């Protein structure tokens, strides 16, 4: 079914009370402005996440950095002031540390590569924040995600069960549906994505039109709590790493690395080769051994016929938003990857063509065209 981008944030929504997650950036600012323009009763909410700055175990090298949450909060407050809407600061530092940071560290220690953004959406933005909003009289929460929600006309007219669909954002370069696969029907009924039908360039223009100070503010990069701290530097301090051996496919030592948990399958940087190899082409991580603290590397050419190719995977923590049919089923195994054909057979996801760089701990997300059908975590 072809679905046209909604000009309103959601056609089936009544103009009720909305708590908008204001991050301080342009996307959430424009989301709040659009909702107020449509006639919603809007309240801006800044979610305070966890930061290593000031934390008891934070090393001196982290001093003065972090997510800059104070600056982000001031930026969010300016949005509320311009739009003349109430503003709330919701301190979820403890929840963020437990559900996102601790989860991420535990996954890396186990040799997997997690998606902390997925967990943040599940546990924080559409978990604790959504509950807080509903408990305080809100009908919806809204965020600046590039995704869309849609209720079919048949359902809106009362014919059959009302099911909300999660769609890709219209701007395919910004689409964030990959990180939203954990959403349930119960949650989607209370979620608005006001800019999901827009291009990023249009969002910038709207920010100028609404007189928002975020119009020229640069987008944030990476995880909020890391700020200017490199992920590998963070893991070295909080997960504990030590140097280990780099092996070739014959189990011969050819170099050293900084810690097995720092590498993901398919990575080609961050380790040192000290022994001359038979091939001059780049070397890629094809497997890891957490217990022995070693990684195996191979050239891309050799890897295509050996350990780097995966034909099928098993999933855990699966969540299905919509009905999945094997016919025309597509999936992604990493963010911004081109969707690939697959099918489900005996609790396994089988790719039409073998895939390179499949990493346990990452999300596999199902699609039917532009509709996100759910997903799971690769085992």
Q: What is the pLDDT of residue 266?
A: 84
Question: Residue 280's pLDDT is what?
Answer: 67
Can you tell me the mean pLDDT for 165-177?
97
Quote the percentage of the chain above a pLDDT of 70: 84
Decide which of 301 and 203 is more confident. Answer: 203
Share of the chain above pLDDT 90, in %: 69
Stretch 335-348: mean pLDDT: 94
Strands 340-345 and 348-356: antiparallel
The topology (CATH level 3) of 309-378 is: Elongation Factor Tu (Ef-tu); domain 3 (2.40.30)
Q: Model pTM greater than 0.85?
A: yes
Confidence (pLDDT) at 357 = 81
The pLDDT value given to residue 309: 84
Mean pLDDT of 259-288: 86
pLDDT over 70 (residue 154): no
Catalytic residues: 120, 224
Q: Which CATH class is domain 17-144+194-228?
A: alpha beta
| Parts of the chain belonging to CATH 3.40.50.620 | 17-144+194-228
pLDDT of residue 2: 43
- pLDDT above 60 (res 174): yes
Query: pLDDT tens for residues 19-49?
Result: 999 999 999 999 999 999 999 999 999 999 9
- Chain-wide mean pLDDT for the chain? 88
Question: How would CATH label the architecture of 241-303?
Answer: Roll (2.30)
Averaged pLDDT, 302-318: 78
Contact 244, 260 (CB under 8 A): yes
Q: Which two tokens stand for residue 18?
A: 């909305």
Instruction: Outline which parts of the chain fall under CATH 2.30.30.
Output: 241-303
Q: How far is CA 40 from CA 18, 89, 170, in A?
A: 7, 20, 23
- Indicate where the chain has its CATH 2.40.30.10 domain(s): 309-378
Reported as a pLDDT band with limits 50, 70 and 90, residue 8 is low
What was the pLDDT predicted at 64? 44
Per-residue pLDDT, 23: 94
């Amino acid at each position: 079914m072809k679905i046209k981008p909604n000009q309103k944030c959601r056609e089936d929504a009544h103009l009720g009370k909305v708590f908008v997650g204001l991050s301080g950036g342009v996307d959430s600012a424009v989301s709040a402005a659009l909702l107020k323009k449509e006639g919603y009763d809007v309240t801006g909410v800044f979610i305070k996440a966890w930061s290593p700055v000031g934390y008891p175990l934070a090393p001196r090298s982290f001093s003065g950095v972090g997510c800059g949450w104070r600056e982000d909060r001031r930026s969010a407050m300016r949005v509320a002031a311009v739009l003349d809407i109430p503003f709330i600061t919701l301190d979820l530092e403890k929840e963020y540390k437990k559900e996102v940071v601790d989860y991420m560290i535990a996954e890396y220690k186990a040799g997997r590569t997690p998606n902390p953004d997925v967990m943040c959406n599940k546990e924080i933005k559409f978990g604790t924040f959504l509950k807080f909003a509903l408990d305080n009289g809100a009908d919806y929460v809204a965020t600046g995600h590039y995704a869309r929600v849609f209720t079919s006309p048949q359902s809106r007219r009362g014919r059959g069960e009302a099911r909300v669909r999660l769609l890709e954002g219209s701007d395919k370069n910004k689409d964030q549906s990959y990180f939203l696969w954990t959403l349930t029907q119960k949650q989607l009924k209370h979620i608005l994505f006001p800019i999901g039908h827009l291009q990023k360039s249009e969002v910038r223009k709207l920010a100028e039109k609404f007189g928002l100070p975020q119009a020229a503010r640069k987008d944030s990069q990476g995880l909020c709590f890391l700020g200017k701290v490199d992920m590998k530097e963070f893991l070295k301090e909080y997960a504990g790493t030590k140097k280990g051996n780099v092996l070739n496919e014959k189990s011969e030592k050819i170099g050293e690395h900084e810690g097995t948990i720092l590498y993901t399958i398919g990575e080609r940087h961050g380790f040192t080769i000290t022994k001359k190899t038979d091939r001059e082409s780049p070397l890629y991580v094809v497997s890891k051994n957490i217990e022995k603290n070693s990684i195996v590397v191979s050239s891309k050419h050799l890897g295509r016929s050996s350990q780097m190719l995966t034909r099928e995977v098993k999933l855990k923590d699966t969540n299905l938003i919509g009905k999945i049919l094997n016919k025309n089923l597509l999936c992604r195994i990493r963010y911004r990857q081109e969707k690939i054909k697959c099918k489900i057979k005996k609790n396994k996801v089988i790719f039409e063509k073998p895939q390179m760089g499949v990493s346990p701990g990452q999300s596999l997300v199902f699609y039917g065209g532009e509709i996100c059908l759910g997903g799971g975590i690769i085992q």
